[in-house]
Amino acid sequence: MPKPVVYISRCFGIRRCRYDGDWIIDDNIETVKKYIDFRDFCPETGIGFPSPREKIRVVCRNGVQELFQPATGKFFTEEMVRFSTDFINSISRFDGFILKGKSPSCGVKNTKLYDFATGELISAGASGFFAATLLDHFPDAPVITEKSFEDTTETVLFLDKIFKNCGGTPQALLTELFSRKR
């Protein structure tokens, strides 16, 4: 059975590219990696940010969401939108995406949104710029974050979707994922 092509946030055990210079090792994602043809990427390093770097955040300024780096006072909205659009348009095939939750670039409806003027938290249910662009281009794309793997239903739905074109979800992956304590 061919493996599904899944784009995965590079910070998941592939390269230390997070804002704090670290990476994330997630047991569920490490298990899934064995069963997919994964392609890693990082929108933040894609727009030139080093690792480590000053934090960025999604802010609402004059009713518009922007990508802002408080330590430098600079906005990176245009760069991130351009990177996201170009990257998504360059993909010839994909079966799904595993994205870093809560990220200002990759979070899916779990990213913090701040008021630019006051710095106060407006919402914890925004999406990062890459994730929002991806879902604008492909609203039905199978997308999951590491936190969503903790939910059995979300996990099974995601795996069913990504393996659909490859002959079905491998029982071995489901057995391995769900045999561990959750």
Reported pTM: 0.93
- Up-side HSE of residue 161: CA atoms within 13 Å toward CB? 17
Closest CA to 169 of 99, 100, 107, 96: 96
Query: pLDDT tens per residue, the chain (182 residues)?
Result: 789 999 999 999 999 999 999 999 999 999 999 999 999 999 999 999 999 999 999 999 999 999 999 999 999 999 999 999 999 999 999 999 999 999 999 999 999 999 999 999 999 999 999 999 999 999 999 999 999 988 989 998 999 999 987 887 778 888 888 886 55
Token pair for residue 170?
Answer: 């491998």
d(CA 4, CA 18): 26
C-alpha 114/C-alpha 118 separation (Å) is 8
Residue 20 backbone phi and psi in degrees, to 5: -95, 10
**Where are the domains positioned within the chain?**
5-53+77-107+127-179
Give, as one character, the DSSP assignment of residue 70.
T
